[in-house]
Amino acid sequence: MIPTNVSLIYAMTPNGFIGYDGHLPWPHLKKDMKRFRDLTLHNTVIMGRKTHLSIGKDLPHRENLVLSRNGLSLEDALKRATKEKIFIIGGSEIYSLSRPIVHTIYQTIVCHDFKGDTRFPFEINTKEWSLKDADMTTDENTQITLKFNVWERL
């Protein structure tokens, strides 16, 4: 049984890009950042060393666990997590690694073709995942459409 408290959260372009040159492919998207913050606040966030480096610091008011092949493994991070909910926050290597233990996926589709070099590593197919919620909004600054989907494992 997969525990229901482990979620994955990510944002991608329609082509599946999540990163470019060690950072996000897009400029600041206020509403997506707010959604990320609201969901993860006061919970545990698990990320790869490169994502932590890209953020440049621990995320405030969250328990930050950073994975490295010379350090913390995913298994150890799951044991160490003390908060009610656990969010896998990237990047590509860690999304791939955690795929088997994720119950819910919070997906944002950033509807604009930004240049990228890192993609989300797996397809969310409807044999394995069921769409539980879908919402849409526009970022005020860029006028980019954001699609917010929530998928749950079947």
Measured distance CA(35)–CA(48) in Å, rounded: 21
Q: Which residue stretches of 57-135 are H helix? A: 74-80, 92-98
Torsion-angle region of residue 93: left (phi > 0), alpha (psi -120 to 50) or beta?
Answer: alpha
Query: Binding string, 53-92, against ligand NAP, x = CB under 6 A?
Result: -x------------xxxx--xx--------------xxxx
Q: Give min distance, CB of 100 to ligand NAP, in A.
A: 12
Q: Give min distance, CB of 62 to ligand NAP, in A.
A: 14
Measured distance CA(58)–CA(35) in Å, rounded: 18
49 vs 103, which CB is nearer to ligand NAP?
49
What is the residue whose two structure tokens read 């525990």?
A: 3
Question: For residue 117, which of 48, 15, 9, 49 has the smallest C-alpha distance?
Answer: 15
Instruction: Kindly indicate which of the ranges 45-53, 122-130, 131-139, 144-152 contains the residues binding ligand NAP, using the contact rule CB under 6 A.
Output: 45-53
Binds ligand NAP by CB under 6 A, chosen from 39, 62, 93, 103: 93
Binds ligand NAP by CB under 6 A, chosen from 4, 14, 15, 22: 22
